[in-house]
Amino acid sequence: MEQLFYVVETVMSVWLKTSFLQVLSNFFMTFAWYGHLKNLGHRAWYVAALLSWGIVLFEYLLQVPANRIGYGTLSLAQLKLLQEVVTLSVFIPFALYYMLQSLILDYLWAGLCLLGAVFFIFRNCNPSPGVMP
């Protein structure tokens, strides 16, 4: 029984670390991809691109460890879908509160579609056979 608790604790630890790092990385990614539309609209596109690349560096410094921590406990498809769910979860508040976009029903439909994808990818929770060393 003690071994079962250890396995559950380890899996939850991996899930939490991976999810937390993905959420943080998505804040950087969302600002890099879309923040320039609000803040740098008056500047040349290459200025926005260079600043975005600088922001994306921080995203990669969080995303790469998130994927390395999660891979093995989560399959590659599960990691990708988790990233997509996190992306939408970060993007919607960003669009509403930072970019001042209107809340539309399509956000709900997109979220429901992602929940369907989550069901199909996570119903068989066996990780991929290849585990990084």
**Which residues neighbour 75 within 8 Å (Cβ) at sequence distance 6 or greater?**
121, 126, 127, 128
The answer to whether residue 104 is domain-embedded is yes
* pLDDT band at 34; cut points 50, 70, 90: very high
The answer to whether residue 129 is domain-embedded is no
* pLDDT band at 132; cut points 50, 70, 90: very low
Structural domain harbouring 108:
2-122
Q: Go through 66-80 and write b for each residue having 16 or more CB atoms within 10 A of its CB, e for each that does not.
A: bbebbbebbbeebbe
Q: Residue 62 belongs to what H/E stretch?
A: helix 45-70
The answer to whether residue 132 is domain-embedded is no
The answer to whether residue 61 is domain-embedded is yes
110 CB burial (10 A radius; 0-12, 13-18, 19+): middle
The answer to whether residue 67 is domain-embedded is yes
| pLDDT averaged over every residue in the chain | 85
- pLDDT 10s digits, 60-91: 999 999 999 999 888 898 899 899 889 989 99
Number of domains in the chain: 1
pTM: 0.78
The answer to whether residue 78 is domain-embedded is yes
